[in-house]
């Protein structure tokens, strides 16, 4: 019964996501849906990505949070357009919220749209936003067992960032075991161990993102 109640909502979401997709396609905008737990470093990864790609691409950000606009303020301080969505309790973004947020962005002047989803490893995966790719971030302090406990988000993500590798010595985190359990769920996923604090490994994430943007432009 629960599944029957849930399905019409998801169908509506998918339809609006497809509309978002064609609107964004028309403007040649690459859209990344970035998901993670609270505190994994979504905003830090976005800020680092902006720092390294802002001379090459026009970037904008949509920030999803239950409340507050601290993250979008941090993005705007960098001179980058950012639209804050406050879900007022909902633990994920949906395609209708994105459609609304797009009205506040100049899509003619945009190459990359980074969407920071609400901090949550579970239900954002059920709601397509019209993105070209999904990426997720796991941070070292969260533990290497998360692919076993939350398989869905690892299955749906094309890129998996392992953030805060600089604190690896202080945590009992088995990187090989982590990568092995990711591989079982999603053999095609790219895994990027990095630290936004030290900058180590960030270049591989940036190379991947640039390759995605450029391959979309060729089609
Ligand atoms: Mg954030
Ligand atoms: Zn939710």
Question: Above 60 in pLDDT, residue 2?
Answer: no
User: Could you tell me the distance, in angstroms and rounded to a whole number, from the CA of residue 159 to the centre of ligand 2?
Assistant: 21
User: Could you tell me the distance, in angstroms and rounded to a whole number, from the CA of residue 124 to the centre of ligand 2?
Assistant: 6
DSSP string, 67-130: S--HHHHHHHTTT--EEEEE-TT-SS--HHHHHHHHTTS-GGG-SEEEEE--S-SSGGGG---S
Is 30 part of a structural domain of the chain?
A: yes
Is 114 part of a structural domain of the chain?
A: yes
User: Could you tell me the distance, in angstroms and rounded to a whole number, from the CA of residue 92 to the centre of ligand 2?
Assistant: 4
Question: Above 60 in pLDDT, residue 3?
Answer: no
- Which ligand is nearest to the Cα of residue 72, counting in written order? 1
Nearest CA to 62 out of 101, 107, 14, 21 is that of 101
Is 24 part of a structural domain of the chain?
A: yes
- Which ligand is nearest to the Cα of residue 63, counting in written order? 1
Average pLDDT of every residue of the chain? 95
Is 1 part of a structural domain of the chain?
A: no
Q: What is the pLDDT of residues 29-80, one digit of tens each?
A: 999 999 999 999 999 999 999 999 999 999 999 999 999 999 999 999 999 9
Is 143 part of a structural domain of the chain?
A: yes
- Which ligand is nearest to the Cα of residue 82, counting in written order? 1
- 167 — pLDDT class (breaks 50, 70, 90): very high
User: Could you tell me the distance, in angstroms and rounded to a whole number, from the CA of residue 70 to the centre of ligand 1?
Assistant: 8
Q: What pTM was estimated for this model as a whole?
A: 0.95
Q: Which of 2-11, 50-59, 113-122 has the least mean pLDDT?
A: 2-11
Q: What is the pLDDT of residues 125-163, one digit of tens each?
A: 999 999 999 999 999 999 999 999 999 999 999 999 999
Domain boundaries, position 58 = 6-218
- 217 — pLDDT class (breaks 50, 70, 90): confident
- Which ligand is nearest to the Cα of residue 47, counting in written order? 1
Is 168 part of a structural domain of the chain?
A: yes
User: Could you tell me the distance, in angstroms and rounded to a whole number, from the CA of residue 99 to the centre of ligand 2?
Assistant: 18
* pLDDT of the residue at 196: 98
- Please give the tally of structural domains in the chain: 1
Phi-psi region of 186 (alpha: psi -120 to 50; beta: other; left: phi over 0): beta
Query: CATH number of the domain that 150 lies in?
Result: 3.40.50.300
């Amino acid at each position: 019964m629960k599944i029957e109640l849930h399905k019409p909502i998801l169908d509506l979401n998918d339809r609006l996501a497809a509309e978002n997709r064609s609107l964004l396609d028309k403007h040649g905008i690459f859209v990344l849906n970035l998901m993670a737990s609270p505190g994994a470093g979504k905003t830090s990864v976005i800020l680092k990505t902006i720092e390294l790609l802002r001379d090459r691409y026009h970037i904008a950000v949509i920030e999803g949070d239950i409340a507050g606009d601290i993250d979008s303020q941090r993005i705007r301080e960098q001179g980058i357009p950012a639209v804050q969505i406050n879900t007022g309790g909902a633990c994920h973004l949906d395609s209708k919220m994105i459609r609304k947020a797009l009205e506040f962005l100049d899509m003619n002047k945009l190459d990359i749209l980074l969407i920071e989803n609400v901090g949550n490893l579970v239900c954002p995966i059920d709601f397509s936003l019209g993105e070209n790719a999904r990426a997720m971030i796991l941070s070292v302090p969260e533990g290497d067992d998360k692919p076993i406990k939350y398989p869905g988000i690892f299955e749906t993500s094309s890129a998996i960032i392992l953030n805060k590798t600089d604190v690896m010595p202080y945590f009992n985190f088995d990187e090989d075991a982590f990568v092995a359990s990711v591989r079982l769920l999603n053999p095609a996923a790219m895994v990027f161990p990095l630290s936004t604090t030290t900058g180590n490994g960030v270049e591989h994430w940036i190379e991947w993102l640039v390759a995605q943007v450029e391959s979309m432009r060729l089609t």
